[in-house]
Every structure is written in C-alpha cells, then in structure tokens.
C-alpha cells in the first residue's frame, strides 16, 4: 500500500473511531442531543467547525493535492460531507439500537466518502 493509500485508510479508521463514540449513551445525550439545547445551535456549530470540519477540510485538501479526489469546489464539498456525517451521528444518537445501526451507518458513510475518490 502506498503512502496515499495509507492516508485514505487512516481517514476511514478515524471515521470509524468517531462513529464508535456514538455508542456511548452519555456521549450521545450530552454531545449530540442536549448540547445544542444548552449551548445553542450557533455555538455548537462553531465548535464543530473549529474541530471536526477543520480536520475534514485538512484531509480532503491533502487528498485533492495528491490527486485522489476529483477537482471541484472543496469548500462546498467539505461542507456537504460534514453535514452528511453530522446526520450520520444523529441517526446513531436517535437509534433505538445504536450498536445494531452502527455497521449500516458506517458502511453508508464510507460509501459516501469513497464516491469522492478519483478512479485510478
């Protein structure tokens, strides 16, 4: 596996780790469900933008520079992917059986991200 392949593998692993956090009941309640009510939507988004979106943007920028993803408007693409991944988290947060839903949500998220990869 070349360096670029390893970078993509690390990105997928990072996604799985984040999704795995959604199995923790306290995390789901405090971060995903109660947090926006307590802090307000704008504050929560600012926190997410500073951390999650920044990491996503950095990874997608590196992938674009390496020619791994198709050309286009990276700002818009990152924002759209970020929104989809946030909704994936909410699917798990609201699921009756988050552990049972995780494999499905994770597979769909990886398909979404995989669709961005340029064919070799």
Q: Please, are residues 88 and 105 in contact by the beta-carbon 8 Å criterion?
A: yes
Q: Give me the percent of the chain exceeding a pLDDT of 70.
A: 88
Place of tokens 């469900």: 33
Global pTM value: 0.79
**pLDDT score for 3:** 55
pLDDT per residue as tens digits for the range 1-23: 455 555 556 666 777 777 778 88
Q: Give me the percent of the chain exceeding a pLDDT of 90.
A: 23
Mean pLDDT of the chain: 83
- Please say if the pLDDT value at position 67 is more than 50: yes
Q: Which token pair is 69? A: 């993803």
Q: Please, are residues 114 and 68 in contact by the beta-carbon 8 Å criterion?
A: no
The neighbour count for residue 72, using CB atoms within 10 Å, is 10
**Which residue did the predictor score with more confidence, 46 or 16?**
46
- Please say if the pLDDT value at position 39 is more than 60: yes
Q: Please, are residues 90 and 32 in contact by the beta-carbon 8 Å criterion?
A: yes
Q: Which token pair is 51? A: 């951390």
Q: What is the rounded CA–CA span in Å between residue 33 and residue 113?
A: 25
């Amino acid at each position: 596996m070349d360096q670029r392949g390893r970078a993509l593998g690390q990105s997928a692993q990072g996604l799985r780790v984040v999704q795995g956090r959604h199995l923790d009941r306290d995390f789901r309640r405090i971060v995903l469900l109660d947090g926006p009510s307590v802090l307000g939507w704008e504050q929560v988004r600012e926190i997410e933008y500073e951390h999650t979106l920044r990491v996503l943007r950095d990874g997608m920028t590196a992938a674009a520079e390496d020619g791994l993803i198709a050309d286009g408007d990276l700002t818009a693409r990152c924002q759209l992917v970020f929104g989809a991944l946030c909704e994936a988290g909410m699917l798990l947060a609201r699921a009756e059986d988050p552990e049972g839903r995780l494999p499905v949500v994770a597979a769909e998220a990886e398909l979404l991200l995989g669709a961005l990869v340029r064919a070799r």
